[in-house]
Chain A
């Protein structure tokens, strides 16, 4: 493998409740590339993403970041990763700004001012609002705002467009594109058709293993 590959899996397999979800999965992603994982419900997309983040252990094979297994890198890997899963990970009792400040404290803060971050996701007016009183789509935008509030190379996104309107989807597509231009890496699942530059795009079609 060439050294430019950042995220790589080797012979990855995963079972859930004695059911094989996938096996012999090899992925290789270079800087500036994006992987879209597609497939029907229950085919193991979320499990794959969680294995890539290190939240879940693979039943076989390994995940490598710059050629090193992620379980050995631990904290050094986690500061490179930004994960937005099914749950927004937004504290309802805290305001939007407090939520973002917390996210920054836990990762590596980016250069952007927090007001600018909120502005980028169209939540500028809601800085002091309690996150619990936001709508589902706004909470999702706040969760995705974490991506630019911190400096992580690898974005792992599980259905990032859930409950977003068309304008927001376009907005985040632009944001993803910028991240790829800055040599970032994105892995995401999505049921939505997204307009993204194809040269950097890889698709992984997952299906029920029969």
Chain B
């Protein structure tokens, strides 16, 4: 929990860096109405997909920061040599990452959904999927970052590694929102997302810890 506090404090002192993914998220989404022209029905129909793809890309952008600076200045070695289980420390770091990158997406998403003309009924579902989905992105991403942090040009490999793993989240989240928009019940997809979340929370910290050990040695 001290590590959670530390990471939040670090994020606070590096505000500009952490604001980038959020700005990116907003900018990418505003590009779509400009590129597709003024056709409200089309925008409203593809809005869930746009918002979710943009969320994935924004998450990708911020992933590297989970372990990069710790790796560079040697703090990661200290974390691995800590008396506490590494998986728990990893979970704390991922929580901090989600709080500074995932949560802001949740806050601006209603605005963007409104901008794209999404039906009000679907907006609540969209927020719910983002709330459940973005922690999964952070958790899965952490494994990828842990594997690539030792490489000098890990960035592209990281996206190749992690984006395919994000596909299930994308499918279920977008389809839940679409169901809600067309008046169907989205709960099946939501339950599926919740299942992913629990699976990722229980497995990802261990995998990340093991990957970090490999990267450091």
Contacts and interface: CB of A to CB of B under 8 A. Distances in A.
A86 B74 contact: yes
A53 B14 contact: no
Contact of A93 (B13, B79, B82): B13
A83 B74 CA distance: 11
B84 A89 contact: no
Contact of B83 (A78, A83, A87, A102): A78
Interface in A54-91: 54-57, 75, 78-79, 81, 83, 85-91
Nearest to A102: B6
B65 to A, nearest CB: 12
A48 to B, nearest CB: 13
Binding site secondary structure of chain B: helix
B78 A56 contact: no
B75 A89 contact: yes
Contacts of A93: 9-10, 13-14
Given A55-B217, A87-B73, A90-B73, A107 B83 contact: yes
Contacts of B13: 93-94
A10 interface: no
A87 B75 CA distance: 8
B194 to A, nearest CB: 32
Given A91-B6, A94-B9, A55 B77 contact: yes
Interface string B180-217: 00000000000000000000000000000000010011
Q: Which 7 A-B residue pairs are closest in the complex by CB-CB distance?
A: A87-B74, A79-B83, A89-B74, A105-B2, A106-B82, A56-B217, A93-B13
Interface of A: 50, 53-57, 75, 78-79, 81, 83, 85-94, 98, 101-103, 105-108
Given A57-B217, A83-B77, A94-B6, 16 more contacts: A50-B217, A55-B217, A78-B82, A81-B81, A86-B74, A87-B77, A88-B73, A91-B10, A93-B10, A93-B13, A94-B13, A98-B6, A102-B2, A106-B2, A106-B84, A108-B83
